[in-house]
Amino acid sequence: MKEELKEKQKEVEILRVLEGNARLSDAEIARMMGIKEDAVKAIIAELESKRIIRKYKAVINYEKAGIETVQALIDVKVSPERDTGYDSVAERISRFPEVQSVRLVSGEYDLSVLVSGKTMQEVAYFVAEKIAPLEQVRNTLTHFLLKTYKEHGEIYGEEGQGKRLAVTL
């Protein structure tokens, strides 16, 4: 039981470390955690094969990169279906490559959908043509994203970090 707990803790720590920096090598992670490189390899392989780690991605500040993209959060109100509830419509919406994320939420509407495109028009058309007409969709409300302050735990504005002294005893 104790061993199992330790394994679990290692798994959680590896996930946290990778979430902070997915480009670390197995050797680097092993050194940080004080365990063998082979152990790190095995744990990551397992997490990947179980699809707990879904993929490795960069968090990109597109505005800074000068790449124009438009994103909108769409509140979608749907009528759940008898057998599948919200799942089938949510999965259907998920399949469009324009859709970045789909979440079931509590409150006034049901699904929160993040859509991206090159222009506002493109996004608006996509919603009007592909999401709004779905049979189960009762209502949509589109919020265009104007500015990103923080994404995936990363604050985009530079934090004015005071300079430490090079020497303190």
Question: In this complex, which beta carbon is closest to another protein, that of residue 1 or of residue 166?
Answer: 166
CA pair distance 146, 71, nearest whole angstrom: 8
Q: Does 36 bind another protein (CB under 8 A)?
A: no
Q: Does 3 bind another protein (CB under 8 A)?
A: no
Query: Least distance (Å) from another protein to the CB of residue 15?
Result: 13
Query: Least distance (Å) from another protein to the CB of residue 168?
Result: 4
CA separation, residue 26 to residues 62, 65, 77, 78 (Å) = 29, 30, 44, 45
Among 5, 34, 82, 133, binds another protein (CB under 8 A): 34
Q: Across 5-149, where does the E strand assignment appear?
A: 70-78, 99-104, 111-117, 137-144
Distance of CA 44 to the CA centre of its chain: 19
* Residues in Cβ contact with 30 at an 8 Å cutoff, skipping those fewer than 6 apart: 36, 37, 39, 40
Query: Least distance (Å) from another protein to the CB of residue 162?
Result: 8
Among 11, 28, 37, 122, binds another protein (CB under 8 A): 28
Q: Does 18 bind another protein (CB under 8 A)?
A: no
Pairing of strands 137-144, 150-151: unpaired
Segment interacting with another protein (CB under 8 A) among 56-64, 98-106, 115-123, 160-168: 160-168
Q: Does 17 bind another protein (CB under 8 A)?
A: yes
CA pair distance 108, 56, nearest whole angstrom: 33
CA pair distance 108, 93, nearest whole angstrom: 19
Q: Does 11 bind another protein (CB under 8 A)?
A: no
Contact residues: another protein, CB under 8 A: 13, 17, 21, 28, 31-34, 159, 161-162, 164-169
